[in-house]
Amino acid sequence: MTSILFSPVTIRGLEVRNRLWVAPMCQYSAVEGVPQEWHHTHLAQFASGGAGIVMAEATAVSPEGRISPEDTGIWNDEQVDAWRPIVAAVAARGAVPALQLAHAGRKASTWSPFTHRRGTVPAAEGGWQTVAPSAVAFEGFDEPIALNVAGIDEVVDDFAAATGRAVEAGFELLEIHAAHGYLLHQFLSPLSNRRDDEYGGSLENRARLLLRVIDAVRDAAPAVPLLVRFSATDWAEGGWTVEDTATVAGWAAGRGVDFFDISSGGLVAHQRIVPGPGYQVHLARHVREAAGVPVSAVGLIDSGRQAEEILRRGDADAIMSAREWLRDPHFGLRAAGELGADIDYWPKQYVRARPHR
C-alpha cells in the first residue's frame, strides 16, 4: 500500500517531498537574535534525516518580541546574513526551509530554561518591558503594557518587514505564530484580551490583528506558501475554543493562508491538559472539517505507523513532530523504513543503513 505520509504535497505551487515535518522548537542559543553554528547543525540534520519541511524556531520580528534574550530574530541584516547558510544547508538536503514569524507579547523577556530561573528577566539583566493587548500578566510574569493603536500598527509593520527579510534569507515557506499564548494568541483569547476598542470584544475584533498581520505578510510575499499556527483551545474555562479556531481559520484562508498548523494551550498557567499519544489530533480534525482547510496535526506523534494512521483516518493532511526529531534526527528515514515507503532521498553516505525489504 502506498504511504500517504511519504507522498508529496503541493502548497501554493511548492512541492514538499513528504508530509512528515519538523515543528518549530526554540533552542535558546542565539546571540542578539543571531542564529549560531548550533542552529546550522540542528536544522540541517533534520533535512538529512528525511523531513519534508524543516521549520526553524519561533523567530522574533522585533527585539521586544523575543521569548527570551537567547531567541533568534529576523529584524536586521546581520540576522539575515546568519540565516542564509542555514537555509541553504536545509534546501541542499532536499527539505523545504521554513521560518516561524513570532512576537511573544506578555510572555516575552523570560529566562531561558537553561538558567533554571522562572519569570521575567529584569532590565538590569538584559530584559525589557513587555506588551500585550491588555495590561494582564501571564501568571508569575511582570505586568505588560497594553498596546495602543500606534503600537499595534508597529507590530503589523514588523511582521511585514520580517517577511521581506525571511524571503531575502532564502526561506521558502513561512508560518505566522498565533499559538501558545504569544501575542497574536493573546489578542484572540478573551482571557487575555480585555480591550473595548476595535481590537477587543467580539470574535471579529479579537481576530483583527491576526488578519492584518496575514494581509501584511501576504502582501510582502505573495508567492510564498503561508501557514498559521493556532492553539485550537486554551484548555481553560471562558477561553479560546476549537470552534473559534475553525471560524478564524476560514477567514484566514480567505485572505491567502494555505495551511494551518493546529496545536493547543499555552495562554494561561491554569490550563488543564491531559497529554497522551496524539492528544491534539482531534482538534486538527475539527478545524479541517469545520473550516474546510488543510491542516497539520502535532502532539506526541512518535512513529511512522501512528502518523500514517492519522492521515489515513482523514484527521489531518500532514504531521508536525518535535521531540521525536530531537530523539532521532533521522526520524523521517526511520519512519519510511517502518512503513516500507520507497523514497529516493536517503543520503548516499548513509545508504548502507537502509532497511532491506
Check residue 356 and give its pLDDT.
73
pLDDT (0 to 100) of residue 274: 85
pLDDT score recorded for residue 355: 83
Number of domains making up the chain: 1
pLDDT digits (tens, 9 = 90+) for 281-298: 999 999 999 999 999 999
Give the per-residue pLDDT at 345: 96
In a domain, 174, yes or no: yes
Burial of 217 (0-12, 13-18, 19+ CB in 10 A): buried
Please write the tens of the pLDDT for every residue from 176-204.
999 999 999 999 999 999 999 999 999 99
**124 burial class (0-12, 13-18, 19+ CB within 10 angstroms)?**
exposed
Q: Does some domain include residue 51? A: yes
Domain carrying residue 181: 9-345
- The answer to whether residues 188 and 244 touch, using CB atoms and an 8 Å cutoff, is yes
CATH code, domain carrying 68: 3.20.20.70
> For residue range 105-135, what is the model confidence (pLDDT) as tens digits?
999 999 999 998 999 999 999 999 999 999 9
Residue 353 lies in a domain: no
C-alpha cell of 211?
488578519
Indicate if 28 belongs to the active site.
no
* 355 domain-assigned: no
Average pLDDT over residues 149-163: 98
Read off the pLDDT of residues 204-217 as tens digits, 9 standing for 90 and up. Answer: 999 999 999 999 99
Other Cβ atoms within 10 Å of 300 Cβ, number: 16
Q: pLDDT tens for residues 66-98? A: 999 999 999 999 999 999 999 999 999 999 999
Q: What is the pLDDT of residue 133?
A: 98
* 1 in any annotated domain: no
DSSP H helices, 105-148, are none
And the C-alpha cell for 294?
488543510
Among candidate residues 28, 182, 199, 279, the one labeled active-site is 182
Q: Which of 188, 332, 329, 179 is nearest to 261 (CA)?
A: 179
Is residue 302 classed exposed, middle or buried when 0-12, 13-18 and 19+ CB atoms within 10 A define those classes? middle
261 within 8 A of 228, measured Cβ to Cβ? yes
Question: What is the mean predicted confidence (pLDDT) over 317-321?
Answer: 98
183 located within any domain: yes
**Which pLDDT does position 357 carry in this prediction?**
62
Residues pairing with 259 in the sheet: 227
Strand partners, 110: 120
CB atoms near residue 78 (< 10 Å): 12
Is 292 part of a structural domain of the chain?
yes
Mean pLDDT of the chain: 97
Q: C-alpha angle 19/96/315, rounded to 5°?
A: 20
Residue 356 placed within a domain:
no
